Amino acid sequence: MSANKSEENTSKQVEILLDNQPVNIDPGSTILQYLQKKGQIDPGLQNPVVIMSINGRRASLNEAIHGEEQVRLIRLKDKEAQTTIQRTVLFVMAVAAEDLFPDFKLRASFSYGGGIYCQLVDGELLKKEQIQKLEDRMHELVNMDLPLTPQRFGLRAILKMFQRDGKHNRFTSAKYLRRDSLTLYRMAGFDPLYYGRQLPSTGFLRAFRLIPEGKGLVLMTNVKQEPEKIPTYVPQSKLLATLKEYSTWSNQLDVQDAGHMNEYIVDGRTADLIQISEARHSRFFVEAAQQVADMPQGGRLILLAGPSSSGKTSSAKRLMIQLRVLGLRPFALSLDNYFVDREETPLDEDGDYDFESIDALKVELFNEHLKTLMAGESVKLSRYNFHTGMGSISPHPTVLEKGQPLIVEGIHALNPSLTPAISDDQKLRIYVSALCHMNIDNYSFIKTTDTRLFRRMVRDAQFRGYTASETLARWPKVRLGEEKHIFPFQNNADLFFNSGLTYELAVLKLWAEPRLAAVHPDDKNYGLARSLIDLLSLLLPVDASQVPPTSLLREFIGGSGFHY
């Protein structure tokens, strides 16, 4: 009898592939329940399972399974777990802050210094003793190993709940969502609800630290793939000042998060927002050009660097226009013409040509030409043929007038090893990056690296014929190169230009969404593509016809007044 009953139960189960192995599971049950029965969900394990991938899409272990799914388990030390770890630490901080300081309105504003910069919404000072109490309470919540339970709510119920609880930012963000329901997380014993996929419980968190910084704090989580290790905090005062300045400006403009951005769109005020954002860019180039004009006539070398899709090329062109307004005649010298011959290019760890290494450039020749040009003497400049992979010398000499600005744009421009032959008093170093973070609510934000990824994806599709999947596949190596060759030198900059535009994600989504939707479920980049679509779904679209031809955004979407 019991054997027959067992066979009957098994026949009602469905088959899934779990880490490429067929497994029978009760339909509607969760992988969390399945692993709990097997004793495989335990924060005390060396490398426990924390989330999963269902058919290439990252998901919580609490998501119901119905059969035919391909499930891949993601463990605490896997790189794919890092975003979920950070999100859970933020959740714990939110609960601790509400528990200790119910009158606080703490906001996680942007990535900074290897962590996340957080500050009070009203700009008041967070005292060191308050920060220490907050960290201590967070550790207590972790030690309690509280479960993080997802709950699904209808959108109407969510809006009423946020309105009742005074969570105005969340209400504003949620009311424009084009979906009927949302999954929010609740921490056992506490009322706060939190967006985003979480770890199974607080006990899975192993390392974090709160560091006082200015009026706020930097939340340091673990090193990627090393859950017990906290990275070294490296303050970067100029970068932080730029990021804070943008936060203050966006608050003053009342476009501090996705919800308020959507209100601009719904109210038909995007034309004003675009004009104001573009005027803000223009002001930078006016001020930067004046700084160049104020440099000694004996040498005016402008070095302009920034990560991928930061808008370096457009920034150089905008600066050149403004210098001409001041009566100067800038000359642009391309680093691309100083590549070593292809067979001499260094190799990366995968054995591929590493074109982003400074050793891929003829640095000594470049410096000789810089000195000659700035001395007002004639020089035949280097050229490089990308088809043959060979360098040559131009047959035509180049001479600069005394005081003529020389602009060099490239990823190594702020590296002192690139221009050792030129004294610092003859240089103006500019760092360009899209630093316009977009908050979703007080504890969730769209990272600036995501903005650059959207830009690159759209440009790759528009002008280079790459699919979204191809761009996503290249992105990790691009980011690795930035970490190695660009970010270590960004604090050498004399000026920081925030090339981000408040409205740009609402424009980019018109190009990015259909290309991301085309990524096939069997593609290894499918999960990332779906996550990016979810980010874009937070914003309503803005008609690109309102973007002026001089806008830096035109470098990516097309229709620019500049020639590239």
> How confident is the model over 113-156, as pLDDT tens digits?
999 999 998 889 999 999 999 999 999 999 999 999 888 888 88
**Residue 5: pLDDT over 70:** no
Give yes or no: residues 98 and 197 share one domain.
Answer: yes
pLDDT of residue 191: 65
When mean pLDDT is compared across 175-189, 510-524, 545-559, the lowest value belongs to 175-189
Phi/psi class of residue 219: alpha, beta or left (left: φ > 0; alpha: ψ in -120 to 50)?
A: beta
**Residue 314: pLDDT over 80:** yes
- Start-to-end CA span in the chain (Å): 78
Q: Label residues 367-391 b or e (16+ Cβ within 10 Å = b).
A: bebbebbbeeeebebbebeeeeeeb
In this structure, are residues 506 and 540 in contact, taking their beta carbons and an 8 Å threshold? Answer: yes
pLDDT of residue 6: 43
Residue 29 lies in domain: 2-75
Give the percent of the chain with pLDDT over 90.
73
Residue 356 banded pLDDT, cuts 50, 70, 90: confident
Task: State pLDDT tens for residues 429-439.
Answer: 999 999 988 88
Give the percent of the chain with pLDDT over 70.
97
Residue 427 banded pLDDT, cuts 50, 70, 90: very high
Give yes or no: residues 146 and 291 share one domain.
Answer: no
Task: State pLDDT tens for residues 451-463.
Answer: 999 999 999 999 9
pTM: 0.90
Give yes or no: residues 423 and 529 share one domain.
Answer: yes
In a domain, 473, yes or no: yes
pLDDT of residue 11: 55
- Provide the CA 381 distance to its chain's centre, in angstroms: 37
Give yes or no: residues 440 and 470 share one domain.
Answer: yes
Query: What mean pLDDT comes out for the span 235-259?
Result: 92
Query: What mean pLDDT comes out for the span 488-508?
Result: 96
How many C-beta atoms surround the C-beta of residue 181 within 10 A? 13
In a domain, 346, yes or no: no
When mean pLDDT is compared across 133-142, 160-169, 237-246, 265-274, the lowest value belongs to 160-169
Q: What's the domain count of the chain?
A: 3
**Residue 192: pLDDT over 70:** no
**Residue 514: pLDDT over 60:** yes
Give yes or no: residues 32 and 147 share one domain.
Answer: no
Give the Å distances, CA to CA, from 352 to 308, 343, 347, 475: 19, 11, 5, 15
Residue ranges of E strands in 443-513 = 444-446, 495-498
In this structure, are residues 310 and 432 in contact, taking their beta carbons and an 8 Å threshold? Answer: yes
Task: State pLDDT tens for residues 70-80.
Answer: 999 999 999 99
Task: State pLDDT tens for residues 399-410.
Answer: 999 899 999 998
Residue 349 banded pLDDT, cuts 50, 70, 90: confident
Give yes or no: residues 468 and 321 share one domain.
Answer: yes
The mean of the pLDDT values for the chain is 91
Give yes or no: residues 326 and 473 share one domain.
Answer: yes
Task: State pLDDT tens for residues 214-243.
Answer: 999 999 999 999 999 999 998 999 999 999
**Residue 4: pLDDT over 60:** no
Residue 166 banded pLDDT, cuts 50, 70, 90: confident
Give yes or no: residues 192 and 299 share one domain.
Answer: no
**Residue 1: pLDDT over 70:** no
Pairing of strands 181-187, 193-194: antiparallel
In a domain, 381, yes or no: no
Looking at residue 173, which CATH number applies to its domain?
Answer: 3.30.980.10
Q: What phi, psi does 468 have (nearest 5°)?
A: -60, -40
Q: Which of residues 75, 90, 117 is at a domain's end?
A: 75
Give yes or no: residues 252 and 281 share one domain.
Answer: yes
Q: Distance (Å, rounded) from C-alpha 206 to C-alpha 230?
A: 10
Task: State pLDDT tens for residues 38-63.
Answer: 888 899 999 999 999 998 888 999 98
Q: Distance (Å, rounded) from C-alpha 525 to C-alpha 158?
A: 31
